[in-house]
Amino acid sequence: MDKSKKILLIGGGKMGGALLGGWLQTGLLPDQFLVQEPHPSDALMALGVRVVAGLEQADNFAPDIVIIAIKPQNAASVLPPLSAALPTGCLVLSLLAGTPIVRLKVLMTGDFHFVRTMPNTPAAIGLGISALIGDADVPAELRMQAEWLMQAVGETIWLDHEDQINAVTAISGSGPAYVFYLAEVLAGSGEALGLDPSTAIRLAYQTIAGAGAMLDLADANAGDLRRNVTSPGGTTEAALEVLMAETGLGDLMRRATSAAVQRARALAIPDKTDN
């Protein structure tokens, strides 16, 4: 990306800070960025970018790209004042869960080009995956800029329809938390079986990390890999009979991801106090 581009990051919390760190590692310069974050962490400040509590302190910073990385429930208070500070035609890249482009256009009046994206926390180590969807009138050059930013912290895919992004949120956006919880539960099961905590944690964590690497590197799909490690009448088969029961892990995961989608849809409903 052109290092003359000015980038305004609205929200420097965990996700915003993780993305910013990734962008700086790709060679973008700290002075390209301005971050609006009223409560900056030490980690954010250590990145060497300029951080302001509000845009009244921005000294006429005119961004080419605006990245919105705040909590969805704060959008109604943060975004309307932002519009007046932005130049016509700039790219607005929104990370807001459950906030469709039509809603962004209500909150941000002006001639802007909107792209939504849903990254996940492995972006902090360059191993994320982000889905993108743009408004119909977004020029190809701006779509490429949005894609470049997200490719800098992992893989990207473009969606066909905006309503798919709630499913993306449930699978990859929230997905790392499911894997972390699996690691917790697997380690806890090891303790219950008599292993000391440190051994159980090491076994569980490395098993998940190694299995994930196999998924990434192997030509086979997850089902094939599972079958390869499952001997008839063996211990793995005994465990999988429990996990694959009608009310087992598959049912739980479908219910969990459905709950995530429902919450994303609820977040999309405008607050009746918004005027």
Which pLDDT belongs to residue 76?
92
Burial of 185 (0-12, 13-18, 19+ CB in 10 A): exposed
What CA–CA distance (Å, rounded) separates 79 from 77?
A: 6
Q: Using alpha carbons, select from 70, 40, 68, 66 the residue that is nearest to residue 52.
A: 40
- What per-residue confidence (pLDDT) applies to 247? 96
Better-predicted residue by pLDDT, 154 or 55: 154
Containing 35, the helix (H) or strand (E) segment is strand 33-36
**Concatenated DSSP letters for 110-160?**
SS-EEEEEE--GGGGGT-EEEEEEE-TT--HHHHHHHHHHHHTTEEEEE-S
Domains of the chain: 7-163 (3.40.50.720), 175-266 (1.10.3730.10)
- CA torsion 114-119-125-127 (nearest 10°) is -110
Assess whether pLDDT exceeds 60 at residue 159. Answer: yes
pLDDT at 274: 47
Q: Over 70: is that where the pLDDT of 172 sits?
A: yes
Q: State the pLDDT at residue 22.
A: 87
pLDDT value at residue 113: 97
> How confident is the model over 136-151, as pLDDT tens digits?
899 999 999 999 999 9
* Average pLDDT over every residue of 32-46: 95
Tens digits of per-residue pLDDT, 75-133? 999 999 998 889 999 999 999 988 999 999 999 998 999 999 999 989 888 899 999 99
pLDDT at 269 over 70: no
Portion of the chain with pLDDT greater than 90, in percent: 81
Q: For 208-225, how does the pLDDT look when each residue is reduced to its tens digit (9 = 90+)?
A: 999 999 999 999 999 999
Report the distance separating Cα 209 and Cα 85, nearest Å.
44
Closest CA to 11 of 56, 48, 61, 51: 51
Residue 22 phi/psi, 5-degree rounding, is -65, -40
